[in-house]
């Protein structure tokens, strides 16, 4: 036996009549679609459910899979303590999944539990499934800070585990879409919100799971997505299988995207092995990016790669650098990313070297090996790194936040000898107040302490 199919469902507490108290009727089409999807899953007669939820404990470098024999939860935190669900865990499937993940080199397991109770991202799907007569053991999976490909690989581990144990299983990908569809919604509006929902729903309609893997990370960040990584794990669980998509609809009346879709497994299809397609697309994207790098970024890359591979810093600058790099002095920050995840960032607010070029050499090595938030970059990671270099203008004091602009200026917050800096125009930093608050916290400056503000402009090289 293997996966019979999968379902994508949202988890808005208001959709439960006991919580919504009438407001659920404002998203009646989603409520109707949810119940239809639950009946569909019941017709597949699963023996177990695998549920991926954004509200299980999440770690940057680890997939948490809750332990224990049984679990229960309520909607008390949403004003409905009378809604209480219990379920058993499929212990054998959980154990096999963790073993498969270990074989694949994926860090996953039962450590790190923060709350044994069912999270609402799992409870709400189970509410409708149990209502439809589906009351079977489950395995719950949290998300992580790993790459889209690693989430997909974990899904492949799910499929292999189900096959080894001869289970008839259904994968439940719990997740809302964008949280920024309306100005009057709880999270406000961003133009990226509707764009993300369009991308995701089109992928659901056609079962084009590669689109789940190749979404622009900046789009996801600005749209405040919820369930993309659940969908990536689901895609991996259906690796190499042909599916029949049934798209049941989308609503965003409360400012959050709710979509429901089912994918019945109909056979095998080697053309739907998306890991290889994703890796090829990533290689091509990185090659294009590397080919377009300017001298500032090329120097940062060369500096770090030389140090990681030889243990030595550059002893001389490459030929042909612009004079503005070799004759001028300025502070500079070097940032490293692996797709959407920061991998290191170190810089100087004022010049400490003889030229901008040497500033970049030093800070590139530091960003890759001395950022205390991350382990040193390994040689195996170098090809996947994306670099940006910010060359700083001279900071100037300002009287208040009214003199700042989150897109144009970086900010330095100082109090006594403590200083916190934040660069301008960063994904997820959308207001001056947010920018100042992050910089203040980076400097270890309390919210009630008096502090001074400085602003600076940058020239960003990517």
Last residue of a domain, one of 385, 402, 434: 385
User: Do 316 and 347 meet the contact criterion of CB atoms below 8 Å apart?
Assistant: no
Instruction: Establish if 287 belongs to a structural domain.
Output: no
288 assigned to some structural domain? no
Q: Is residue 65 domain-shared with residue 120, that is, in the same domain?
A: yes
> Is 236 a member of any domain?
yes
**Shared-domain flag, residues 140 and 236:** yes
Note whether 48 and 91 are same-domain residues.
Answer: yes
Cross-strand pairs, 243: 265
Per-residue pLDDT of 218-246, as tens digits, reads 899 889 999 999 999 999 999 999 999 99
Does residue 461 lie in a domain region? yes
Q: Find the helix or strand (DSSP H, E) in which 332 lies.
A: strand 332-338
Last residue of a domain, one of 324, 353, 385: 385
Q: Collapsing DSSP states into helix, strand and coil, what is residue 408?
A: coil
Residue pair 11/176 in contact (Cβ under 8 Å)? The answer is: yes
The CATH number covering residue 452 comes to 3.30.1490.150
In what order do the strands lie in the sheet containing 258-268?
138-141, 48-52, 169-174, 3-9, 258-268, 241-251
DSSP-assigned letters across all residues of 5-55: EEEEE---GGGSHHHHTTGGGGGHHHHHHHHHHHHHHHHT--SEEEEE-TT
Q: What is the DSSP pairing of strand 332-338 with strand 386-392? A: antiparallel
Alpha carbon distance 120, 122 (integer Å): 5
Question: What would the two tokens of residue 292 be?
Answer: 């377009």
- Residue 312: the pLDDT is 96
Residue 286: inside a domain: no
Same domain, 32 and 152: yes
Same domain for 298 and 273? no
DSSP E strands, 252-321: 258-268
In sequence order, what are the beta bridge partners of 88?
70
Q: Tell me which residue of 333, 296, 330, 361 sits closest to 422, measured CA to CA.
A: 333
Specify whether the CB–CB gap between 455 and 396 falls below 8 A: yes
Burial 261-284 (b: 16+ CB within 10 A, else e): bbbbbeeeeeebebbeebeeebee
Are 358 and 209 in the same domain? no
Three-state DSSP state, 191: coil
pLDDT at 428: 80
* CB 387 within 8 Å of CB 293: yes
Is 285 a domain residue?
no
Tell me which DSSP letter residue 49 carries: E
Rg from Cα positions in the chain? 25
CATH code, domain carrying 228: 3.40.830.10
Task: Judge if 142 and 271 occupy the same domain.
Answer: yes
CA distance 174 to 202: 18
Please give the residue range of the domain that contains residue 164: 3-280
Each residue's pLDDT, cut to its tens digit, for the chain (462 residues) gives 689 999 999 999 999 999 999 999 999 999 999 999 999 999 999 999 999 999 999 998 899 999 999 999 999 999 999 999 999 999 999 999 999 999 999 999 999 999 999 999 999 999 999 999 999 999 999 999 889 999 999 999 999 999 999 999 999 999 999 999 999 999 999 999 999 999 999 999 999 999 999 999 889 988 999 999 999 999 999 999 999 999 999 999 999 999 999 999 999 999 999 999 999 988 998 999 999 999 999 999 999 999 999 999 999 999 999 999 999 999 999 999 987 788 999 999 899 999 999 999 999 999 999 999 999 999 999 999 999 999 999 999 999 999 999 999 999 999 988 999 999 998 888 899 999 999 999 999 998 899 999 999 999 998
Q: Which of the listed residues 385, 412, 436 is the one where a domain comes to its end?
A: 385
Q: Between the CA of residue 450 and those of 181, 416, 435, 456, what are the distances in Å?
A: 37, 9, 17, 20
> pTM of this prediction?
0.83
Tell me how far apart the terminal alpha carbons of the chain are, to the nearest angstrom: 49
**Which of 11, 140, 6 shows the shortest CA–CA distance to 72?**
140
């Amino acid at each position: 036996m293997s996966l019979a199919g999968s379902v994508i469902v949202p988890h808005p507490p208001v959709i439960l009549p006991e919580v919504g108290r009438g407001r659920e009727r404002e998203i009646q089409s989603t409520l109707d679609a949810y119940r239809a999807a639950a009946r569909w899953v019941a017709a597949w007669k699963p023996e177990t459910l695998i549920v991926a939820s954004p509200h299980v404990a999440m770690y940057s470098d680890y997939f948490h899979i809750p332990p224990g024999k049984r679990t229960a939860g309520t909607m008390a935190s949403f004003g409905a303590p009378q809604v209480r669900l219990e379920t058993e865990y499929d212990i054998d499937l959980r154990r096999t999944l963790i073993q498969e993940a270990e074989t694949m080199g994926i860090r996953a397991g039962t450590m790190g539990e923060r709350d044994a109770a069912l999270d609402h991202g799992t409870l709400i799907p189970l509410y409708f499934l149990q209502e439809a007569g589906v009351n079977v053991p489950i395995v719950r999976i949290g998300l992580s800070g790993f790459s889209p490909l690693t989430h997909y690989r974990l899904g492949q581990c799910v499929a292999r585990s189900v096959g080894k144990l001869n289970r008839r299983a259904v994968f439940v990908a719990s997740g809302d879409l964008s949280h920024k569809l309306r100005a009057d919604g709880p999270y406000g509006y961003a133009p990226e919100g509707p764009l993300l929902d369009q991308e995701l729903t089109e992928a659901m309609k056609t079962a084009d799971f590669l689109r789940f893997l190749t979404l622009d990370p900046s789009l996801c960040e600005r749209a405040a997505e919820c369930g993309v990584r659940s969908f990536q794990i689901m895609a991996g669980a259906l690796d190499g299988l042909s599916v029949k998509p049934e798209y049941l609809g989308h609503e965003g009346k409360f400012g959050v995207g709710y979509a429901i879709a089912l994918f019945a497994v109909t056979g095998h299809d080697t053309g739907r092995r998306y890991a290889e397609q994703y890796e090829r697309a990533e290689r091509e994207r990185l090659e294009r990016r590397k080919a377009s790098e300017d001298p500032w970024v090329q120097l940062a890359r060369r500096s770090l790669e030389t140090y990681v591979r030889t243990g030595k810093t550059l002893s001389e600058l490459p030929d042909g650098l612009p004079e503005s790099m070799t004759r001028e002095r300025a502070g500079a920050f070097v940032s490293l990313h692996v797709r959407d995840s920061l991998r290191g960032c170190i810089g100087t607010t004022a010049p400490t070297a003889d030229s901008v070029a040497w500033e970049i050499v030093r800070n590139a090595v530091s960003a890759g090996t001395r950022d205390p938030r991350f382990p040193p970059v390994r040689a195996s990671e170098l090809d996947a790194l994306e670099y940006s270099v910010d060359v700083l203008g001279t900071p100037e004091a300002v009287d208040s936040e009214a003199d700042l602009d989150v897109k144009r200026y970086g900010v330095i917050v100082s109090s006594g000898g403590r200083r916190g800096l934040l660069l301008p125009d960063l994904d997820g930093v959308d207001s001056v107040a947010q920018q100042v608050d992050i910089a203040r916290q980076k400097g270890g400056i309390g919210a009630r302490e008096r502090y001074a503000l400085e602003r600076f402009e940058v020239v960003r090289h990517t």
